[in-house]
Amino acid sequence: MRVLHVSSTGKFCGISTYCQNLIKHFDHEHHHGFWGIPDKNSLGQCSESNIIKIFDSLIEEAKNYDVVHLQNEFGLFCGPYELSFGFKVFHGIIKKLRKIGKRVFVTYHSEPSFLKALGWMNFENKKCARGWRKLSKLHKKGNGVTAIVHTEESEQVFKASGFRDVEVVVHGVLERSLPKHFKIKEKESPIVLGMFGFVSPYKGHEFALSILDLLPSNFKLYVIGGRHPNQEGEEIGNLLNVANNLGLSKRLLITGWTTPEDADKHQSMCDICLVPYQTHEISASGAVTWNLTSGKPVIASNIRSFKAINKLCPDGDAMFLCHHTERLEWVWAIKRILNEPKLKHSLIDNARKYCDDFSWTNTCKKHIELYKNE
């Protein structure tokens, strides 16, 4: 069997990292090729018709394969144009792949949040909703187009919006060497709260500072990451301004982007990992899986995708979940973990078991079953 994988490219892109981890962990029984989606800069000067022609070269490449597996975020397909144009391009890609008889799988990395914001003046979201409905009609049983999502909760969202051929494959987890033990700290030793991944508004970095503001002065916030290369916003500056206004500048460290090897070193200095996401629409998160492999206890927002992770842990929760806006609850959770060794080690042990169960090796086996069975 020959499988063509289609994804964004670049070491700074989470979806690209996801796809490369997937390809890397397949065995050698089948052939896996790759077609890289041009980045926004490459598409920036193209007309709409030229963007469609660029993706027509994908259709030509696909003729040499049995299965085509696309990684989807609609922003990858629209170039400099509105998101609704990305729907048009993506719909056309799938129809053309089916026309040449290819079996198609699409991993959707987020849920259709635009369906929740259909005010009568919100024309762009209305266009996206129409594109979504057209797309859903392609994902029917027997039509050769299967949607892959990361949680049962996302599966329900997709089916409620019209998708019929939907499969759940849990986000793969990197196999890292995990530290076995915690170091005992003196009462006044620095306590480091770590956040891993790109700095984006929905990830709750400013909320984490508001938590830090309620904690004693020996608590620090360590942000292991920087601005996403596709973003041009003021996320870093805003975070530094908030820290300055709260008098927390000396207790905040932002590393900027680091290599995985350096990220390991930075994360080893943390005592607790925080994941205070402020959105409910993500289906999964590579940053969360990285935290789970850190060997440190994880506190995360009590949102659907994170509850789904705990649901898959039969021996107990892998993460301590807190309301995403209730900072006093986060302070309480931090103090509990620091003061209750049994709770701390239970979270670490359950995270380790989760990482073993849903390693990339096992995730690849699940994909091969889907490719063969359809």
Q: What is the mean pLDDT of residues 45-65?
A: 95
Could you report the per-residue pLDDT of 121-153, keeping only the tens digit for each? 455 678 888 889 999 999 988 899 999 999 998
User: How far is C-alpha 343 from the geometric centre of its chain's CA atoms?
Assistant: 27
Report residue 182's pLDDT band, with 50, 70 and 90 as the boundaries: very low
Please report the domains of the chain, with CATH numbers, ordered by start residue: 2-172+359-373 (3.40.50.2000), 191-357 (3.40.50.2000)
Predicted local distance difference test score (pLDDT) of residue 193: 97
Q: Quick check: 181 pLDDT over 60?
A: no
Return d(Cα 140, Cα 178) in angstroms, integer: 42
pLDDT band at 192 (very low <50, low <70, confident <90, very high): very high
Q: Are 73 and 114 in contact (CB under 8 A)?
A: no
Those residues with Cβ within 8 angstroms of residue 317's Cβ, 6 or more apart along the chain or in another chain: 310, 346, 347, 350
| Residue 287 in this model has a pLDDT that exceeds 90 | no
Mean pLDDT of 103-131: 76
Task: Give the model's confidence band at 296: pLDDT under 50 very low, under 70 low, under 90 confident, else very high.
Answer: very high
Strand order in the sheet with 31-36: 31-36, 2-7, 67-72, 103-108, 145-149, 166-168
pLDDT for the residue numbered 95: 96
* pLDDT for the residue numbered 46: 93
Least confident of 111-120, 271-280, 339-348: 111-120
Give the range among 172-176, 195-199, 287-291, 346-350 with minimum mean pLDDT: 172-176
Supply the mean pLDDT for the chain. 89
Percentage of the chain modeled with pLDDT above 70 = 93
**What is the per-residue pLDDT across 221-231, written as a single tens digit (0 to 9) for each?**
999 988 876 66
pTM over 0.75: yes
Residue 185 has pLDDT above 80, yes or no: no
Residue 123: per-residue pLDDT: 52
Q: What would the mean pLDDT of 26-51 be, rounded to a whole number?
A: 91
> At 266, is the pLDDT very low, low, confident or very high (cuts 50, 70, 90)?
confident
- Residues 198-223, mean pLDDT to the nearest whole number: 94
Predicted confidence at residue 73, as pLDDT, reads 86
